[in-house]
Structure 1
Amino acid sequence: MKVIKRELFLLFQLLFLLITIGCNNKKDTHFSALPDSLFCEGDIVFRRGTGLVSRMILTTDKRGNYSHVGILVKDENQWKIVHAVPGEPNFKGDPDRVKMEDIEDFFSWEKAKTGIVMRMKDNEVGNVRAAKNAIRLFHSNILFDHKYNLQDSSKMYCTELIDYVFKQEGIDLTEGRRTQINVPGLNGTYILPNDILQNKQLSLIYYY
């Protein structure tokens, strides 16, 4: 009987250890080994999300592999990502809005299955200015656009934000591409991540 109890105790300890290791691994970002030297202000980051909204976007965009997009900025000498996102509050009562967060949070296992970093070629000055525009919108407390209205820039959704900050510098990321969606609750013309990603001036910096 004592032998059985001891074996059960050891088995319990082993299971606890495996669960603990698994949980700790899940906290790691996909970008844990990515050197800062690869980054430039204005790089565009795409991720394939894990939530319901991400699945809905990917269902409507048959050619696309990514459901969300943001822009890489430097704030107080730290790399951050500015993006417009719903359903990711930083505190109780935090509204859906344009956020600025650590790149590790943006690409965390909870939020991203896969991701890439892209850069507009031969456009360093414009890229940096686009990043500054994004920081300005973050500090302006721009809310998330749940109506997905491209004609109103007082609120913005993710791709609208990225398209907007570059367009302010005379750069048309989408080159006029739009996606028509006709599903219950979402009917109209929108910018999807793949509408941006098709730009041939975008070069791949990193992917996982």
Structure 2
Amino acid sequence: MKAIKRKLFLLFQFPFLLITIGCNNKKDTHSLALPDSLFCEGDIVFRRGTGLISQMILTTDKRGNYSHVGILVKDENQWKIVHAVPGEPNFKGDPDRVKMEDIEGFFSWEKAKTGIVMRMKDNETGNVRAAKNAIRLFHLNILFDHKYNLQDSSKMYCTELVDYVFKQEGIDLTEGRRTQINVPGLNGTYILPNDILQNKQLCLIYYY
């Protein structure tokens, strides 16, 4: 079982294709001077991870650039990102869970080589409500779903979390897309970042 979980963790480092552009955009190749004025609650953030594992997977999956996803929220007038992530404890003994961190931390050079901020078009109210729902799940201390079970929302993985909070507002980010994985020791249906990125209603706000 541990081997299966490890394989699935590695799988979710796959980079994914940026398939759409639009709205305002800006590229900053020298620093993380993030353009706060462009952001809105409910924007969806993607990043390409760092480290040897990410590089290994980039050589096996040529489809794109991004491996992790979260949602932009505003907490005490500060931009934060809510996301479900394993292996990033805030303190000793901190379990893998839904967490909320500064946007600079999410996109820090230690964690991200590149990143994008996307937005569902013509859906401001639903986007904001999705962000509020994500904050609610953070405060509920929802644990990370190491079983990657889409039928059980008591625990969540990254794409499951983002898909869930939007679906609560009647927005189907994936439009029913799922990725079927059939390899020795690992079989199932999952939501991958590219299943979200294929939504034509997503427009690009920022990238670096």
Give the structure-1-normalised TM-score: 0.81
- Describe the shift of the 1:97–1:22 C-alpha distance in structure 2 as closer, same or farther (beyond 3 A): same
Of 56-65 and 110-119, more deviation after overlay is shown by 56-65
Contact 2:49 2:112 (8 Å CA) reproduced: yes
Q: Distance in 2 between matches of 1:94 and 1:81?
A: 18
Q: Tell which deviates more after alignment, 21-30 or 120-129.
A: 21-30
Would you say 1:114 and 2:102 are equivalent positions? Answer: no
- Name the Cα RMSD after superposition: 14.5
Paired position in structure 2 for 1:128: 128
Q: TM-score normalised to the size of structure 2? A: 0.81
Shift of 1:143: 0.1
Q: CA deviation at 1:89?
A: 0.3
Q: Assess, with a 3 A threshold, how the Cα gap between structure 1 residues 23 and 72 changes in structure 2: closer, same or farther.
A: closer
Gapped regions of structure 2 (runs ≥ 5): none
Q: Which runs of 4+ in 1 moved over 3 A?
A: 1-31, 51-62, 183-186
Q: 1:204 to 1:89 in 2, by over 3 A?
A: same
Q: Residues 42, 4 of structure 1: CA spacing in aligned structure 2 closer, same or farther, 3 A cutoff?
A: closer
Deviations 1:59-90 (A, max 9, x none): 77652421000000000000000000000000
Question: Quick one: percent identity of the two aligned structures?
Answer: 94
1:57 is displaced (CA, Å) by 6.7
Partner Cα separation in structure 1 for residue 194 and residue 133 of structure 2: 22
* Alpha-carbon spacing, 1:58–1:14, altered in 2? closer, same or farther (3 Å): closer
More RCO (CA 8 Å, sep 6+): 2
* Distance change (3 Å), C-alpha of 1:87 and 1:3: closer
Q: Which has the higher helix share?
A: 1
